[in-house]
Structure formats: C-alpha cells, structure tokens
C-alpha cells in the first residue's frame, strides 16, 4: 500500500509539472539568470554642490530584481575599471530611480554609470555620463531685467523656465523667461499685486492683492478666477499636493485657506496677530507663519487647520521665513533686528540665532539646503549662510539695486531678486 501511494503521488507531481510547463502564456517570462535590460542614465540638474541623476527602471520583474548600484569616478571607463570608481548609492527597490550626489567637486567633471543586478546575480551596465560641475555657488549679479514699477514679491515655476514678478504700482504681473531673461508676458490685474506663489504642477499662479486673490493660468497667462477677500495680504503658499493655498490676511489677523479645486474659501485660522510671511512644510503637514505683532512663528496643522504651536521669537517683528527642503528647520527673519532665528521643526524649538549684521528683507533656501540667501535692501547686499554650521560665509553687493524678495531656480544655478527701488529684477549666478 505504501508503494502504491508513493507511485500515485509521483505521477500526480509529474502531471502538475507538465501542466505548469504548458502554461507559459499565463505565467509570463522567466527572467531567472538572464541579463537585465540596461537602464538609461541621465542628468536632471548639475549644481556646484550636487548632481541630480535619474534612470528608467529595468524590465526585470520585481520578484526577479536585485539592486541598482550607482558608481562615480573622476575618470571615464567605469565599466572596464570598477576598482577605480566609488559606489555612491545602492538600493533594492526597482522603482526608486533617482539619486542626488552631494559629494561632487566644484569645477571638475564627474563620471557616472549604473549597474543593475538581478536576484540571480546577472548584471548589466547603463550608459556612462560625464557631468561638468559648476565652479561655485551663485554670488554675483549677472543680469538685470527691467520690469514694471515697484516690483515686490517674486516666484519661479517648478520647471524653472519662468519667473513671475508682482509689480505693485502698475497693477501687473510680469513674466520673465529665464533662458534669456526676457519679459515675455504681462498680466493686468484690478489691484496692485503683493504676493505670489505657483502650484507644484506649474499650471497656475496665485496672486494676492487688496481685493482678494487672482488665479493665473500659466499656459496662456490669463486670469481664470478671482476670489474676493478684502484686506492686506502679505504672504501666500501652496501645499505640495496643490489641494490648498494658504494666504496670510495681515490686517484682519487670519490665515485664509483656499481650496484650489473650485477656488473657494475653505476656512480661516486666526493668529491673534498680524500674519505675514508664510511657507509650507515639504510634507504638507504643516504651514509656518511669521506673525509680526505677536513676535512668533505660528504652526498650523493642515489636517484640521488648527494651531499646533506658537514659537516665540526673541527679536521684534518677524516678517519672513523659509524651510529647508527636508523640512527639519525653519529660518525666521525679523525686520527690526539683524538676527536670523533657527527653529527645529521636530519640537518647534529655537535652536540657534545667527547674527547677519545687517537688517534682512527676505530669505530663500538653496534647493540643496546647504546655503541660505538673505537680501538686505538698505545696504544693497545679499548674505550667504552655510546651514551646516550657521555661519555667514559671504556677503556680496548687488550694486545700485536694493534687493527685496528673492527666489531660487529649482536647479539652484541662479537666484532672482526684485528691486522695488530701481524697478528691476536682478539675477545672481
């Protein structure tokens, strides 16, 4: 009986194996042991302090995928001489196909190649690319663009192709094409524009003014919606999800929440002060507001639009702030002091105060988070602060132009600054 049972089981296993082998169309190809299709490696952005690399994910099924390994070298020929290269990145997720190399050397060329490995150990190399690293951070004026009268706030589209400038005195928004620093469009508004932000999709620009908020479609630079909201509004920002835009209505002491799906007012958060500068955390979980009257940074939790914390600032009249790309710190400037306050967001605590020697106007973080740029209108200078040790490493002149608001291109290669005193936008590279 035992022998018969064994024979039946053996025959059954043979039948199952035959059926499985006959169903290739249903099970898909078997990549085990095969060489994975090479990914194509490309460069997104090259800055003096980093290179942003990207590649397409391999055709190997996820269950057969092993790893991506990114190599860097000072010399070409990584595939033929891997020993002379350095593996700077390794990941076992098939669908995570980007890496920022922050160990580059300014004014030199870096070579990169990607090795894709299957779970069975088979490998394939991508193409090799050479990246010329710029020689330094932006620290000198390289262009001056004439715009309308009294340019104030300014913002850049996520693509970096255009900069939008609020020209308060003329009631216009001017559009600068960054490839040649030419004004290519002018959008007329009923009121003088004050603050501006761009959705992360790049499709719309939101502009504040005395009458409310105007929505500009970037594809043709036409006003597509108007939201009535009387009062002084000095700050505006969009959540990373683009679902909501937050506006600081300074005179009435609240932060307005605009739902972008229908451009309606979705709520108000009162700060009991005079909210001005505003920015979103990269996660979108919080919005940070500089409140001029209560000398504090107000933290708004976006899930329920409640005030999660109020962080006191030692120096009077905080007017502007920015967060790092990682969201771990917020930097707050006060108009009545030459001190930059550093707040750690994990506990909403003040961890440092940086003496910048001159009264700052506005602040912007470099996309790599390695440096902060502060404008000083009264002295026509810009300070550069290294975030690793909170040291002022440079302070350079903007000539005859008194810088006010400042924004960075996503590549980090240039900053654009409005100068209401001379009716221009200056470009630093």
Across 313-410, the runs of DSSP E, i.e. the strands, are 318-323, 329-334, 339-344, 349-355, 363-365, 371-376, 381-386, 391-397, 406-408
Give the number of other CB atoms < 10 A from CB of residue 286: 22
Whether residue 97 is found in the same domain as residue 203: no
Q: How many domains does the chain have?
A: 2
Whether residue 202 is found in the same domain as residue 261: yes
- Exposed / middle / buried, residue 363 (Cβ in 10 Å: 0-12, 13-18, 19+): buried
pLDDT digits (tens, 9 = 90+) for 258-296: 999 999 999 999 999 999 999 999 999 999 999 999 999
Entry pTM: 0.72
Question: Does 209 fall in a domain?
Answer: yes
- List Cα–Cα distances, 311 to 160, 335, 346, in angstroms: 33, 17, 12
- List Cα–Cα distances, 118 to 28, 55, 72, 97, 121, in angstroms: 17, 16, 21, 16, 5
| CA–CA dist 60, 84 (Å, integer) | 28
Whether residue 110 is found in the same domain as residue 155: no
Name the domain boundary from 106, 132, 158: 132
- pLDDT at residue 10, as a whole number: 38
| Inter-residue contact 195 to 164 (CB < 8 Å) | no
Domain residue limits at 180? 141-428
- pLDDT at residue 59, as a whole number: 84
Question: Does 29 fall in a domain?
Answer: no
Give the chain's residues under pLDDT 50: 1-32
Instruction: With residue 269 as reference, give the H or E element that holds it.
Output: strand 264-270
Whether residue 305 is found in the same domain as residue 188: yes
Whether residue 305 is found in the same domain as residue 373: yes
Pairing of strands 41-46, 86-91: unpaired
Give the pair of three-digit tokens for residue 1. Answer: 């009986």
pLDDT digits (tens, 9 = 90+) for 389-402: 999 988 888 888 99
What CATH code is carried by the domain that includes residue 90?
2.60.40.10
**CA within 13 Å, CB half, 318:** 30
Name the domain boundary from 79, 109, 132: 132
Find where tokens 């933290």 sit: 299
Whether residue 162 is found in the same domain as residue 104: no
Helix, strand, or coil (residue 409): coil
Question: Does 284 fall in a domain?
Answer: yes
């Amino acid at each position: 009986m035992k022998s018969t049972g064994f024979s039946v089981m053996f025959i059954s296993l043979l039948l199952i194996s035959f059926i499985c082998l006959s169903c290739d169309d249903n099970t898909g190809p078997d990549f085990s042991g095969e060489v994975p299709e090479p990914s194509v490696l490309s460069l997104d952005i090259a800055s003096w302090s980093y290179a942003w690399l990207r590649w397409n994910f391999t055709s190997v099924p996820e269950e057969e995928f092993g790893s991506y390994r990114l190599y860097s070298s000072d010399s070409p020929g990584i595939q033929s001489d891997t020993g002379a290269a350095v593996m700077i990145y390794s990941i076992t997720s098939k669908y995570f196909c980007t890496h920022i190399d922050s160990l580059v050397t300014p004014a030199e060329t870096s070579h990169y190649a990607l090795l894709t490995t299957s779970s069975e150990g088979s490998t394939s190399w991508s193409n090799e690319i050479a990246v010329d690293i710029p020689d330094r951070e932006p620290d000198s004026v390289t262009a001056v663009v004439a715009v309308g009268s009294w340019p104030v706030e300014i913002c850049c589209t996520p693509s970096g192709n255009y900069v939008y400038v609020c020209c308060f005195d003329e009631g216009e928004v001017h559009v600068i094409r960054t490839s040649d620093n030419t004004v290519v469009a002018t959008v007329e508004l009923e009121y003088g524009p004050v603050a501006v932000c761009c959705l992360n999709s790049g499709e719309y620009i939101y502009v504040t003014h005395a009458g409310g908020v105007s929505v500009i479609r970037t594809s043709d630079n036409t006003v597509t919606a108007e939201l009535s909201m009387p009062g002084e509004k000095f700050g505006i920002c969009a959540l990373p999800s683009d679902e909501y835009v937050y506006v600081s209505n300074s005179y009435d002491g609240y932060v307005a929440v605009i739902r972008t799906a229908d451009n309606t007012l979705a709520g108000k958060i009162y700060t009991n002060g005079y909210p001005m500068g505003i920015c979103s955390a990269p996660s979108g979980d919080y919005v940070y507001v500089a409140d001029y009257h209560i000398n504090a940074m107000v933290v708004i939790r976006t899930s329920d639009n409640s005030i999660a914390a109020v962080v006191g600032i030692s120096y009077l009249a905080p007017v502007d702030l920015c967060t790092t790309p990682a969201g771990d710190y917020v930097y707050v400037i006060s108009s009545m002091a030459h001190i930059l306050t550093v707040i750690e967001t994990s506990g909403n605590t003040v961890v440092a105060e940086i003496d910048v020697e001159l009264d700052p106007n506005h602040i912007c973080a470099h996309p790599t988070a390695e440096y902060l740029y502060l404008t000083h209108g009264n002295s026509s200078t810009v300070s550069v602060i290294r975030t690793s040790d909170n040291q002022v490493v440079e302070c350079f002149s903007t000539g005859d132009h008194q810088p006010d608001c400042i924004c960075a291109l996503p590549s980090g290669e240039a900053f654009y600054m409005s100068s209401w005193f001379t009716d221009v936008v200056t470009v630093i590279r």
